[in-house]
Structure 1
Amino acid sequence: MSWYNEAVFYHIYPLGLTGAPKQNEYGEPVHRLNTLLPWIDHIKEIGCTALYIGPLFESVGHGYETTDYRKLDSRLGDNEDLKNFVATCHEKGIKVIFDGVFNHTGRDFFAFKDIQEKRQNSPYVNWYCNVNFSGNTEYNDGFSYENWGGYNLLVKLNQRNPDVQNYICDVIRFWVSEFDVDGIRLDAADVLDFDFMKQLRRTAEEVKPDFWLMGEVIHGDYSRWVNGSTLHSVTNYALHKALYSGHNDHNYFEIAHTVKYLQNMGDLDLYNFVDNHDVERIYTKLSNKAHFAPVHVLLYTLPGVPSIYYGSEFGIEGRKERTSDDSLRPALNLADYADAVEKNPCTALIAALGKVRQNTPALNYGSYAELMLTNRQYAFARDLDGVRVIVTVNNDDNAASMDLAAGNAAEYVGTLTGEKVSVENGRIHVTVAGNSGNIWVPTGDMPEYKPVEMNAKAPETTNTTVKADNADQTKEEAAATVAEQNTTPISQALKNAANTDSIKETVATTVGNSDCTANASEKAADGTTSNTTTASEPASEKSQITVDWSKSPEDMTVEELQAGILAKMANNGPVTDQMKKTVYDNIWHDSLVNWLKSFR
């Protein structure tokens, strides 16, 4: 087993967190990265053991138009600052991975500048895809080229060129020798060439033991990327979507189904998250803010590697805007959250979950077994070496009781409340507060856990029991009848906190009504259309959707984008049911926009 199997990640977008200017003037270094040094102690305090930070290297604007892979962005400082930052993380026991932006470069990258100067005589012409000296761009280069995502600012690298492969592998070697980095998150890995990824994997095994490669993948069979010859992990967007919509819709069946769907792909250690620098903050996304608690209990206990995006441990908000991601990537002052672990219930919960995760091996390595499932209550076990850890969550406003198959122990303790329950006839009977969750571990051999202090007390309640032994039985059971509303330190404090400045703090100004993960039931806006296409869909799933081709892809709804992609596919030949399913399974707006733009 490796360090990443046991990691709890913290994710920082450094240009945003440090408040760096939006455009790089390539001037003298400004040592903003050093302002993040105090965050390292915070990361450790809330129980995170690894940091994903990036993009870091010299670029034009948002960081993904790389100018120099070997130089820290001058808006953040110099290479000595980055070397010191990583060393400080390592001193605190925190692993570090960088963002690897290897699909494309910016136009200021040396190879592209050489093509601009020498044109056909440049030795770097074949470093990029489809350079055409009979074409042109809006930059009036006198040649055209394949870009990434429809943006000529991002020039697509030819990953099949051995010179490009060798160059990128040398960059990785440099990052290890110069900065001692522990792994790389590969940007847009779902469009990386597979032979190129295999070369990256060979380099990873060469440069450092347990060097971790994690890729950004939006949808599809993750086992295509996660295997012995390519990547160690990918982003788990499937679970991300299920976690927020399963709570907003009071539908734990969606989450449980997603877990089974992922398990059918194999034993994959996926990178789990509830928000990141590309999607809305989870606190914004949730219809009921009190669901912050059960969402994060699941994030830390379902199979995979959990990750927290900077600021979300404080319960801040951030809404996806139509033209900018700035609201998702705010500058924060850590001093404003100095007492958050003690006074902010969201932060206290995250810190408690981090401690539980670190001290409970079954949550890292244990097998998964569903114990109980209704729309509003869900329980499962993580089993390892004869130790059964039980997780219970409840998205209802009222408390619910559960009767669950236990492991070989005499007593269990709820790690988030300190409550102890006896095992009787191989089962435990537990109460889960409304909009809350708990992690039950055997007492004795397991560490003693301190309850999360939330400055509220749970009153006595009477509950009707929901009993289930296995998944087959739960499907036949009706939803639990729950008693009068119960409160616990976790659930009540989160509800109270929804009215406080610390949780209601908004770091985004909403522009329009754009949602990066818009619900698939969202309807297209009314409007006059001059050129429309209708894509046929399975009758059991959706009605026919009309596409207004006068709209830009960015202005289309998720359903319009799906219908547009199917229409484009139909122009190229028959559209199979599997092709339709692949399209409908993708409900991420940005991904669908790029997909639709990929058709010529």
Structure 2
Amino acid sequence: MWYKESVFYQIYPLGLCGAPRENDGQVVSRIMQLLDWLPHLQKMNINGVIFNPLFDSDRHGYDTRNFNKLDPRLGTNEDLKTICKTYNDAGLALMFDGVFNHVGRGFWAFQDVIENKESSRYKDWFHIHFGGNTHFNDGFHYDNWEGHYELVKLNLNNPELVDYLLQQVTHWVTEYGIKGLRLDVAYMVDRNFLRRLHDHCLSLDPEFFLLGEMIHGDYRQIVNGEMCHSATNYECAKGLVSALNSHNLFEVAHSLQRQFGQEQWALYRDLPLLSFVDNHDLSRAATAIQDKRCLPLAYAIIFTMPGLPCIYYGSEWGIEGSVQHDDADVRQSIRQPEWNELTELIAQLADIRRRYPVLARGAFRNVLIQNKQLIFERKDGEQRIMTAVNMDDQPATLHFDAGCGRARELITDTDHDFGAGSELEPFAYKVWLMETN
């Protein structure tokens, strides 16, 4: 499957393209800016792009008005077709954000319910309670997403609605050539709907990729042969940031062992989970990680641990932003991409990830764990790669059983001898291709 060996890049289009926060209906082709980003993505060795919401919405994209129409703040459907064709022709696989749990109050079918009440043919597309009311004073109450009445929960047990949503997916595949979907709040989406969606998508494309958003809980609730292929690995993302901030690499090592170790009790060693440091719902990595010298270590880990590495736009050169006050602070407008030492490292790691299949499918093993140093191994047949990090401001000499005498350090393309211990400079990161016996 294409996604198992891919490096992903996540874009929040309404943010990156500088769209106004309120949808005034004015058509401005801001999405065409993404043409200027293609050379940057190619230089970074990206081959999969996840687009957060693109379609007509009330404000932030997750309050959909129309699944068939590009948000006018971004442009027209023809603009979107141009972007998708250009990216597809360049060899990048595209994924859209499937927001199927809820819609905005401006969604056309909900507007019909507001106007026609009990007489609306669409009233059963939602969970409407005509005996109540809300602060919007519609004359009825309705189920919503986590107390947010601007987000109207869909009734995914309604056959007509489900058919409508599946038709939208078919349209996205045929019109825009997408290869997958990110499923918003998949942890709470109706399981029978996920099964229908899974079967429908694979009937369109046997290699279609379904990525479910899971913030907590057991990923196998939705990642199985009937629903999703992958989930967002929040456990490791949060564990990694916390470990770097607390100078306690045991924390992330525990999560890696718990999920991917070779013990029978390891939870997810056969699942290709999405690995990341930040996204559109989290503070930027350069803000969340208190010591900026640890940023390269974080990316060295997510690119060589089991999973599918994903970079959030702008974070590859260390842009900052916090979700403490407003999610918009991490969904910044960026006129053009930048390139610095961190970007160069991430591009190298992406290249290494794509050149060495062991990083996509190899077994995982922790080799050495200390508060400020960590070494782990990926192994597939005779091919072995070890990743070592030192988050101390002092050099560290590490003694461990490497299983061989020498290795090639892939980032610097230099030889390494394990004979007298391995010295790591302060805040060093190494990716060793171990020699074969």
Match of 1:417 in 2: 412
SS at match of 2:399: strand
Task: Return the letter of the residue paired with 1:108.
Answer: G
Match of 1:317 in 2: 320
SS at match of 1:89: helix
For the pair 1:133 / 2:104, whether they are aligned, the reply is no
| Residue 418 of structure 1, CA deviation | 2.7
Report if aligned partners of 1:222, 1:265 keep a CA contact under 8 Å in 2.
Answer: no
1:127-158 Cα distance to aligned partner (Å, 9 max, x none) = 112x1112111121111101112111110001
| Residue 444 of structure 1, CA deviation | 9.2
Query: Separation in 1 of the partners of 2:409 and 2:398?
Result: 13
| Residue 406 of structure 1, CA deviation | 3.5
Residue ranges of structure 1 left out of the alignment (5+ in a row): 446-600
For the pair 1:145 / 2:148, whether they are aligned, the reply is no
Q: Which has the larger radius of gyration?
A: 1
- The percentage of counterpart residues that share the same residue type is 40
Match of 1:285 in 2: 288
Query: Separation in 2 of the partners of 1:230 and 1:15?
Result: 28
Query: Separation in 2 of the partners of 1:91 and 1:402?
Result: 47
1:204-253 Cα distance to aligned partner (Å, 9 max, x none) = 11111311100111011111111100100111110011111101111111
Report if aligned partners of 1:11, 1:53 keep a CA contact under 8 Å in 2.
Answer: yes
Residue ranges of structure 2 left out of the alignment (5+ in a row): 261-265
Query: Separation in 2 of the partners of 1:183 and 1:156?
Result: 23
Match of 2:334 in 1: 332
* Equivalent of residue 385 in structure 1, options 378, 381, 384: 381
CA root-mean-square deviation: 1.6
Query: Separation in 2 of the partners of 1:399 and 1:198?
Result: 52
Task: Return the letter of the residue paired with 2:144.
Answer: N
Aligned residue runs from structure 1 range 88-99, under 5 A: 88-99=86-97
SS at match of 1:154: strand
Match of 2:352 in 1: 356
Match of 2:263 in 1: none
Structure with more relative contact order (C-alpha pairs < 8 Å, separation 6 or more):
2
| Residue 404 of structure 1, CA deviation | 3.5
Q: More displaced, 140-149 or 428-437?
A: 428-437
Task: Return the letter of the residue paired with 2:284.
Answer: R
Query: Separation in 2 of the partners of 1:421 and 1:22?
Result: 52
Report if aligned partners of 1:388, 1:406 keep a CA contact under 8 Å in 2.
Answer: no
SS at match of 2:78: helix
Query: Separation in 2 of the partners of 1:356 and 1:279?
Result: 27
SS at match of 1:334: coil
Query: Separation in 2 of the partners of 1:431 and 1:422?
Result: 10
Match of 2:422 in 1: 430
| Residue 443 of structure 1, CA deviation | 6.1
Match of 2:25 in 1: 26
Q: More displaced, 184-193 or 257-266?
A: 257-266
Aligned residue runs from structure 1 range 76-95, under 5 A: 76-95=74-93
| Residue 77 of structure 1, CA deviation | 0.9
Query: Separation in 2 of the partners of 1:406 and 1:261?
Result: 22
Match of 1:43 in 2: 41
* TM-score, normalization by structure 2: 0.95
Aligned residue runs from structure 1 range 545-564, under 5 A: none
For the pair 1:192 / 2:189, whether they are aligned, the reply is yes
| Residue 161 of structure 1, CA deviation | 1.4
Task: Assess, with a 3 A threshold, how the Cα gap between structure 1 residues 151 and 377 changes in structure 2: closer, same or farther.
Answer: same
SS at match of 2:374: strand
Match of 1:496 in 2: none
Match of 1:71 in 2: 69
| Residue 423 of structure 1, CA deviation | 6.2
| Residue 410 of structure 1, CA deviation | 6.3
Match of 1:467 in 2: none
| Residue 405 of structure 1, CA deviation | 3.3
For the pair 1:305 / 2:308, whether they are aligned, the reply is yes
Structure having the higher strand fraction is 2
Match of 1:55 in 2: 53
Match of 1:598 in 2: none
Match of 1:525 in 2: none
| Residue 401 of structure 1, CA deviation | 2.2
| Residue 355 of structure 1, CA deviation | 1.2
Report if aligned partners of 1:98, 1:185 keep a CA contact under 8 Å in 2.
Answer: yes
1:314-350 Cα distance to aligned partner (Å, 9 max, x none) = 111101233x211101111216x2xx2xxx2211111
Query: Separation in 1 of the partners of 2:209 and 2:241?
Result: 28
After TM superposition, what 4+ stretches of structure 1 lie above 6 angstroms from structure 2? none
* TM-score, normalization by structure 1: 0.70
Match of 1:527 in 2: none
Query: Separation in 2 of the partners of 1:245 and 1:47?
Result: 28
Task: Return the letter of the residue paired with 1:11.
Answer: Q
1:346-392 Cα distance to aligned partner (Å, 9 max, x none) = 11111111111111111111000111111111111100121111111
Task: Return the letter of the residue paired with 2:329.
Answer: S
Report if aligned partners of 1:421, 1:429 keep a CA contact under 8 Å in 2.
Answer: no
Match of 1:439 in 2: 431
| Residue 411 of structure 1, CA deviation | 3.5
Task: Return the letter of the residue paired with 2:423.
Answer: T
Aligned residue runs from structure 1 range 250-289, under 5 A: 250-263=247-260, 264-266=266-268, 267-289=270-292
Task: Return the letter of the residue paired with 2:413.
Answer: G
Aligned residue runs from structure 1 range 339-350, under 5 A: 340=339, 344-350=340-346
| Residue 31 of structure 1, CA deviation | 0.8
* Equivalent of residue 372 in structure 1, options 360, 368, 371: 368
